[in-house]
Chains A and B, each alone.
Chain A
Amino acid sequence: MSESIEEDAINLLLQRVRVLDPIANGDRIADVWLKDGKIAAIEGQIVDIPPETTIKNGENLILSPGLTDLYSANNDPGHEERETLTSLSKAALAGGFTRLTLLPNTVPPLDNAAGLTFLQQKIPSYAPHFQFWGALTQNLEGEKMVELAELADAGVVGFSDGKAIAHWGVLRRLLEYGGPLGRPMAIVPTSPQLRDNGAMREGSFSIQAGLSGDPVFSETAALAALLEIVAIVRTPVHIMRVSTARGVELIAEAKQRGLPVTASTTWLHLLLDTEAVGDYNPSLRLDPPLGNPGDRVALADGVKAGVIDAIAIDHSPYTYEEKTVSFEEAPSGAIGLELALPLLWENLVIKGNWTGLQLYKALTVAPQVCLGQNPLSCAVGEVAELTLFDPQKTWIANRETLFSQSANTSWWGQEIRGKVLSVWHG
């Protein structure tokens, strides 16, 4: 396992580093001086270097605000064999994430204020900034509302069950009751009835693979219903895990109508589609399933156009035993915190037509805005909460390199280009 990549920012000069600041739309080569945990200077060339300053060559490296993950699974307590808060912290930092927002899927679920206190006490001292989604319904069952106001007062960042609320009447009441609490409500737009246990996005590929199909309308019908409710109730909603081209269209229309919605897709839905499922790798069993090729393209265009605000990692570890089953029987989800930035950079920026700023915006500023927070900036005077990325460095994803306890990724054993070298997290 690699060494920790956290660094302190007491007195460090990074020379000739590429600084990406999505807030200011800035993308330039500069010298950056970090002093006492803050960004003390960013200049084309800093010549007057104080003594005892550590100097580091930043050539061909990218310095950005620390990445924020909008939602990932939390298995501690409950399934520590998959991931603990300690291993999760290390994985997040190794992947460049200084802020993690965890779903309430612990056992027991985070559906009361005492649970939040318990979790806050468990956070390791060297962790990134943790924030927590509180449950919307008791035991995440989608039936009875939790004490939302008490959870909000206790400090949850927002509310989500991390899975579909099947009963639209319950969803309506949640949005009505929770509206005045001023916290984002993150909703998964899926109709479990229409999904009907489908394991793969329905289409020609699911038919040929012989896997049960999950039709596009399991997402779009639920999304249309959600948007109609939001249009009347007006509670701000974050739409999670958008996975279809038609879903992007519906959200674009809703935003045009001025509905208070933000949206995200996951990094895997931007990189892969049903064609990748052909070899039945259980690490590609996702919820929602990977889209057809047209969905992947529409999602990428949606992020670039700002219709889909953010890219979430949705890091979902499972043990070898849990995932070493057939594709249909495998639990949904894959790990991603340590892989997302390099693979997105390589495939969307280097091989695709994204700009570096477009990608970083969706991983830094946008998730913070979706959470209703003031976004981090890479500017003089700001706290040094930063990520330093080497887009060229190659490494193999395996037990020696990954901090996550789990191995459920289709890139296991493969060479990855791009590695986060350092993080500063204030």
Chain B
Amino acid sequence: MNQSWTRHHILSLANFSEVEYDTVLQTASSFREVLSHGTKKVPPLQGQVVANLFFEPSTRTRSSFELSAKRLSADILNFTPGSSSLSKGETILDTAKTYLAMGADIMVIRHKQAGVPAAIAREMDRLQTGVSILNAGDGQHEHPSQALLDLFTICSFLDSDRPRLEVLKGKKIAIVGDILHSRVARSNIWSLSAAGVDLHLAGPPTLLPEYFADMGNVTLHWHLEPALQDADFVMTLRLQKERMTSNLLPSLREYHQRYGITRDRLKICHPDVGILHPGPVNRGVELSSDLMDDPRLSLISQQVTSGVAIRMALLYLLGTRK
């Protein structure tokens, strides 16, 4: 049993403690270590059921959670809206209760609307089920496992043997792009603020409202250059094409010209700058194509690998919590 972890649900990073961050990073690091020795499976969640309730379609995150759960020897149930009864008048709580009845111990939930994992967590608590909820992305609210894998990626980049929060202290990180609609950015803002990062957000005013300044110790920029100046890491975000139709941007072309990350623009960053992106990347929009494939600069494939270790850590901590 894992004695140090007490959190029952992982819905948001807004009130995560430094100890919790470090526990997650250390646990993920141990799993990475084990897996690197060729071990494909470890037993801690044997007999437990992990239900992936992906009300919003997702291939990458769902696959990552599925692989993580399998490596912990858990049984997996997958729910996708295409095969659901939601169109037959079933509510989100009915769906969750169905998986509860099948014996789910942990529910990994993604929904296109903010607050759905929280609502299901409240219902599970009300029914005293003991089921843990893991938010795998809810609308524009949060995506905690993505931010934690980003954290793990950059902490490992700085100290691969002992990734921990304090190695980030004072580092300059820029998050660039459509911050307004990004659940990844919100979770990243909480985790990187907690790490004492010198955090800068950059994007056009329509996608970066001033209210973000209230989320913590962050600096906002409507021009890219001051955000990139001497940055140790640059996190870019996916730009949804529908932002053009709602008049938030004139065109992808102008967006790329003003906020797209190119090799040329990175010259003002720290010489060892690392680039992150939660994927999938619109090549040539938020990130120029050649940068994405440059292993010296791009940490994108490390992010994907980190994802499995982090999700194993989260499932493990929730599943063995006492």
Q: Chain A residues in contact with chain B, CB under 8 A?
A: 202-204, 206-213, 279-280, 282, 320-321, 324-329
Contact = CB atoms under 8 A, between A and B. Distances in A.
A204 B141 CA distance: 13
Contacts of A326: 92, 111, 113-116, 119, 139
Given A324-B91, A324-B93, A209 B215 contact: no
With most chain B CB atoms within 10 A of its CB, the pick from A209, A282, A321 is A209
B232 interface: no
Nearest to B182: A210
Interface in B257-281: none
Given A321-B91, A324-B91, A325-B92, A208 B215 contact: yes
Interface of B: 14, 89, 91-93, 111, 113-116, 118-119, 122, 138-142, 180, 183, 186, 209, 211-212, 214-215
Nearest to B183: A210
A328 B119 CA distance: 13
Given A204-B214, A210-B186, A326-B116, 6 more contacts: A202-B211, A206-B211, A207-B209, A207-B212, A210-B142, A280-B119
A10 to B, nearest CB: 47
A280 B109 CA distance: 16
Nearest to A321: B91
B238 to A, nearest CB: 16
A283 B138 CA distance: 19
Nearest to B215: A208
Nearest to A282: B119
A328 B211 contact: no
With most chain A CB atoms within 10 A of its CB, the pick from B113, B138, B142, B209 is B113
Contacts of B186: 207-208, 210
Contact of A280 (B91, B115, B183, B209): B115
Contacts of A280: 114-116, 118-119
A321 B89 CA distance: 8
Contacts of A329: 113
Nearest to B212: A207
Contacts of B91: 320-321, 324-325
Contacts of B211: 202-204, 206-207
Contacts of B142: 210
A209 B114 contact: yes
A202 B211 CA distance: 9
B215 A207 contact: yes
B14 A210 contact: no
With most chain B CB atoms within 10 A of its CB, the pick from A202, A212, A282 is A212
Given A321-B89, A328-B139, A210 B114 contact: yes
Nearest to A277: B115
6 nearest A-B pairs in the assembled complex, by CB-CB distance: A280-B115, A210-B141, A326-B113, A210-B140, A204-B214, A210-B114
Contacts of B122: 279
A209 B139 CA distance: 10
A199 B215 CA distance: 20
Contacts of A203: 211
Contacts of A328: 113-114, 139
Given A210-B141, A210-B142, A210-B186, A327 B115 contact: yes
Contacts of A210: 114, 138-142, 183, 186
A327 B209 contact: no
A279 B141 CA distance: 12
Contacts of A321: 89, 91
A143 to B, nearest CB: 25
B113 A327 contact: yes
A324 B118 CA distance: 13
A198 to B, nearest CB: 12
A190 to B, nearest CB: 19
Nearest to A320: B91
A71 to B, nearest CB: 28
A324 B92 contact: yes
Nearest to A196: B246
A211 B116 CA distance: 12
Nearest to B126: A413
A328 B116 CA distance: 10
Nearest to B116: A326
Nearest to A204: B214
10 contacts: A207-B211, A210-B142, A211-B114, A280-B115, A320-B91, A325-B92, A326-B113, A326-B115, A327-B113, A328-B139
A282 B211 CA distance: 23
A327 B114 contact: yes
With most chain A CB atoms within 10 A of its CB, the pick from B122, B140, B183 is B140
A398 to B, nearest CB: 13
Contacts of B111: 326
With most chain B CB atoms within 10 A of its CB, the pick from A204, A207, A327 is A207
Nearest to B140: A210
B147 to A, nearest CB: 13
A208 B182 CA distance: 11
Contacts of A208: 14, 186, 214-215
Nearest to B138: A210
Nearest to B94: A324
Contacts of A204: 211, 214-215
A212 B141 CA distance: 10
Nearest to B213: A204
Contacts of B141: 209-211
B124 to A, nearest CB: 14
A90 B75 CA distance: 51
